[in-house]
Amino acid sequence: MLMADSTKRRELQVDLGERSYPILIGPGLLAEAGNLFREKGFPLKAPILLVADAAVEARYAPTLEASLRQAGYTVTRAVVPSGEQSKSLEMFDELITAALEAGLDRKSTVIALGGGVVGDLAGFVAASYMRGVRFVQVPTTILAHDSSVGGKVAVNHRLAKNIIGAFHQPEFVLYDLDTLKSLPMRDVRSGYSEVIKHGLIWDADFVNYCDERAERLLALDPDSLGHALYEGCKVKAIVVSRDERENDLRAILNLGHTIGHALEAVAGYGELLHGEAIAIGMVGSARLAEKFGYGADIAAETERLFRKFGLPVRIPGGYSTDAIMAAMMHDKKFSEGKMVFVVPKAIGEVEIRGDVPTEWVRSIVEGLKEENGV
Amino acid sequence: MLMADSTKRRELQVDLGERSYPILIGPGLLAEAGNLFREKGFPLKAPILLVADAAVEARYAPTLEASLRQAGYTVTRAVVPSGEQSKSLEMFDELITAALEAGLDRKSTVIALGGGVVGDLAGFVAASYMRGVRFVQVPTTILAHDSSVGGKVAVNHRLAKNIIGAFHQPEFVLYDLDTLKSLPMRDVRSGYSEVIKHGLIWDADFVNYCDERAERLLALDPDSLGHALYEGCKVKAIVVSRDERENDLRAILNLGHTIGHALEAVAGYGELLHGEAIAIGMVGSARLAEKFGYGADIAAETERLFRKFGLPVRIPGGYSTDAIMAAMMHDKKFSEGKMVFVVPKAIGEVEIRGDVPTEWVRSIVEGLKEENGV
Ligand SMILES: NC(=O)c1ccc[n+]([C@@H]2O[C@H](COP(=O)([O-])OP(=O)(O)OC[C@H]3O[C@@H](n4cnc5c(N)ncnc54)[C@H](O)[C@@H]3O)[C@@H](O)[C@H]2O)c1
Ligand SMILES: NC(=O)c1ccc[n+]([C@@H]2O[C@H](COP(=O)([O-])OP(=O)(O)OC[C@H]3O[C@@H](n4cnc5c(N)ncnc54)[C@H](O)[C@@H]3O)[C@@H](O)[C@H]2O)c1
Ligand SMILES: [Zn+2]
Ligand SMILES: [Zn+2]
């Protein structure tokens, strides 16, 4: 029973017509990359660029590469320094150079091995190199259950996060759970922030599951972890399938991100982890719900849950409210100057509101600051 | 009669389903931009970024902006230094900054006012800013009858031309013939190189038209010019409509570009104009036709025609054959290491060949060098 659980594989499909693709979740998948590439008809002659996060390269790239080489592929490795700072145009430029030097052609593939940083960065390289080549995501963080699905790829600009990017779907997502064992605890917690987000926007039962299993999830118990990533990916896949280009529905995935992105920008990329920033942002959105007359328990529940996962729920000291508000104004979720927010109506249900007064947001930001009480 | 001709407007449609768009060709169109934006439902509240080539900015941006402002739009101008050097990631970064500072949101529009350089660069900004905003082309060169249609946008990398880019179709193309009056003669000639290319790949009658009207075309006689741009755009529009993403047919538009792009890269971007480089490249392709057993007259005819338009047909002194060959290897038209060329079978008809021996190419490049005789 335990044996069966810990070797269990899960599979999901992202339905996007011609661009549909599978998400494979389970242990031991790195070693099967070669077979998968063959099965899916990736051409043997087209060189592959493997873009790996420096923190995972030595541990996992050799297994992945060996599998691809054994299947007959040519692979060149490019290593990216860990951290949000790497999601820059400079690093993008370096990877384009690496792709050229590795002789990548129009039939080539770019693989991202790492968390959301490498996924977003390598994905934008895949989207832009020769106007688009194949892309495969091999996520190695919990957070990347979110970033590896849905085709949003981007780099940051010093004035705003993810402002330069594209929609470029992967050919498949290969989620080897074994790679998560080396993930630092702070990143484990940060990753669960997006997992819980998927519950908060779509599925109250799944929020309960996370609540009840918090300890096991944080300990990376294989079956709980596999289930949570599967459920998180499932919500993401459903939403993306219905609205790939964020014309309407997809925007609900931005719960907590308006304040979250602003905090990341103001903190300096990398100070606050993405999952941490959006946890604070989700508490902010829940407080907005209260202002709109929805239950006050939403904010209390949201806060309790994030605390249980060891995530921050207050804005760390020293950030200026003006700077945070200014960063929000640069955020792309503002259309035509109005403030748009994803607001919870209950746990597991959200709505998109385009009528949020700036003053409400400012007072919530103010109230969330550590110095104003915990 | 003369009056009627010189004020004549022509209109064409690029058929791409949901992404279909019109090309308007005629005098006096700059002043109608505002009305067109209103007609096509561009939202008034979303700021517009006008990206203008430094050489045309002072002359034409005021008319365009006045028209847009009068219609109620907010426009911010960004000026790009003239020349191929501006098709760089650095300039791209500067324009993203300008877009952020101008407050562009997801409903905004980027307008390119200039030739192919500004069109390709601003187009990549429009494709990437917030993962894609609206784009309008206002071409001011003859060459841009080609670059403004079809949605290929890109910047260069020091190792290869157009290597970083996207497919991003404009909402419309506004071709105001009055702007061409200030175009330097060298750019007039360079532009006709792509006009003639459209004849060479698709329409022998149009090649004859260009041949017979060469003098009037070079003098920018309004009716001849309007007709030639219309016919050139028409060939481009037909080809792009049938194969937007260059899976097969669209590759014929690359006639002369494999050698041409290599020459541009080796010369240092901007030394040889794009139209000049591909004129030489088209002579090279015609010589390749001979090797494949097609009529020897193709090369002679091609050469005669380009000479008539004052275009170069030989590689200027001092470029190394090895460097040219190496640059071709980086060119994205090579798939899986084979040499692919567009080869004329007759004037007005081409085929794509994937079996071109490197040695043939090398000997043609060698034979085209000025120092080896004119
Ligand atoms: N594209 C999308 O739809 C989307 C969605 C959510 C988040 N994101 C982006 O994702 C990024 C955050 O992703 P992230 O949290 O994965 O960050 P990350 O990629 O920086 O990874 C977190 C840290 O863990 C390290 N690491 C990664 N895998 C490891 C492993 N297996 N063992 C040991 N260390 C490992 C990394 O070096 C890094 O220090 C942000 O840039 C965010 O904007 C994108
Ligand atoms: N995207 C495509 O499908 C496509 C197709 C063909 C060419 N291109 C690209 O187009 C570029 C070449 O285009 P181009 O020849 O228009 O070059 P360009 O944009 O550099 O313009 C040529 C010169 O004319 C000047 N100029 C432009 N309009 C003027 C005017 N009305 N009056 C006076 N001066 C004017 C410019 O400052 C420049 O010096 C190349 O980068 C090429 O790769 C792209
Ligand atoms: Zn996120
Ligand atoms: Zn061209």
Tell me if B210 CB under 6 Å of ligand 2: no
Q: What local confidence, expressed as pLDDT, does residue A5 receive?
A: 58
The model carries a pTM of 0.94
Domains and CATH numbers, chain A: 10-182 (3.40.50.1970), 195-370 (1.20.1090.10)
Q: What local confidence, expressed as pLDDT, does residue A17 receive?
A: 94
Residue minimizing CA distance to atom 41 of ligand 2: B117
Q: What local confidence, expressed as pLDDT, does residue B178 receive?
A: 97
pLDDT in tens, B172-201: 999 999 999 999 999 999 999 999 999 999
Query: Smallest CA–CA separation between A146 and chain B, in Å?
Result: 18
Among candidate residues B274, B276, B287, B301, the one labeled active-site is: B274
Which stretches of chain B drop beneath a pLDDT of 50?
1-4, 335-336
Q: Which residues contact B225 (CB under 8 A, 6 or more apart)?
A: B142, B177, B180, B217
DSSP string, B4-55: HHHT--EEEEE--GGG-EEEEEETT-GGGHHHHHHHTT--TTS-EEEEEEHH
C-alpha–C-alpha distance, residues B196 and A293, integer Å: 67
What residues of chain B lie within 8 A of the CB of A97, using their CB? Answer: 157, 159
Q: Identify the residue among B157, B164, B246, B258 best suited for mutation to test binding to A, counting A beta carbons within 10 A and taking the highest.
A: B164
Bridge partners of residue B342, in order along the sequence: B352
Tell me if B146 CB under 6 Å of ligand 2: yes
Ligand 1 proximal residues by C-beta, below 6 Å: A 53, 55-56, 82-84, 87, 114-118, 120, 140-141, 143-144, 146-147, 150, 152, 162, 179-180, 182-184, 187, 190, 194, 274-275
Q: Which residues contact B97 (CB under 8 A, 6 or more apart)?
A: A157, A159
Tell me if B141 CB under 6 Å of ligand 2: yes
- Please, are residues B76 and B49 in contact by the beta-carbon 8 Å criterion? yes
Tokens 């090279």 -> residue = B284
B interface residues, A as partner, C-beta within 8 Å: 43, 45-46, 89, 92-93, 96-97, 100-101, 103, 105-107, 127-132, 152, 154, 157, 159-160, 163-167, 329-330, 332, 334-337
* CB within 8 Å: B335 and A154: no
Residue minimizing CA distance to atom 3 of ligand 1: A147
Q: Which of A45, A157, A166 lies nearest to residue B131, judging by beta carbons?
A: A166
C-alpha–C-alpha distance, residues B224 and B178, integer Å: 14
Q: Enumerate the H helices of chain A as residue ranges.
A: 2-6, 33-39, 54-70, 89-101, 116-128, 144-147, 185-202, 204-212, 214-218, 222-242, 257-267, 274-291, 297-308, 321-330, 358-368
- Residue A84 annotated as lining a ligand binding site: yes
pLDDT in tens, B125-144: 999 999 999 999 999 999 99
Q: What local confidence, expressed as pLDDT, does residue A335 receive?
A: 47
Q: B373 C-alpha to center of ligand 4: Å?
A: 26
Q: B297 C-alpha to center of ligand 4: Å?
A: 24
Backbone angles phi, psi at B152, to 5 degrees: -80, 125
Q: Which of A100, A160, A167 lies nearest to residue B160, judging by beta carbons?
A: A100
A250 catalytic residue (yes or no) = yes
Query: Smallest CA–CA separation between A158 and chain B, in Å?
Result: 9
B257 catalytic residue (yes or no) = yes
Bridge partners of residue B51, in order along the sequence: B78, B112
Residue minimizing CA distance to atom 10 of ligand 1: A116
- Cβ of A230: how many Cβ atoms within 10 Å? 18
- Residue A274 annotated as lining a ligand binding site: yes
What is the residue type of B285?
S
Per-residue pLDDT of chain A (374 residues; tens, 9 = 90+): 444 456 799 999 999 999 999 999 999 999 999 999 999 999 999 999 999 999 999 999 999 999 999 999 999 999 999 999 999 999 999 999 999 999 999 999 999 999 999 999 999 999 999 999 999 999 999 999 999 999 999 999 988 889 999 999 999 999 999 999 999 999 999 999 999 999 999 999 999 999 999 999 999 999 999 999 999 999 999 999 999 999 999 999 999 999 999 999 898 867 899 999 999 999 999 999 999 999 889 999 999 999 999 999 999 988 999 999 988 887 655 544 568 999 999 999 999 999 999 999 999 999 999 878 76
Q: Which residues contact B259 (CB under 8 A, 6 or more apart)?
A: B277, B280, B281, B284, B285, B324, B328, B361, B364, B365, B368
* CB within 8 Å: B152 and A131: yes
pLDDT in tens, B260-316: 999 998 988 668 999 999 999 999 999 999 999 998 899 999 999 999 999 999 999
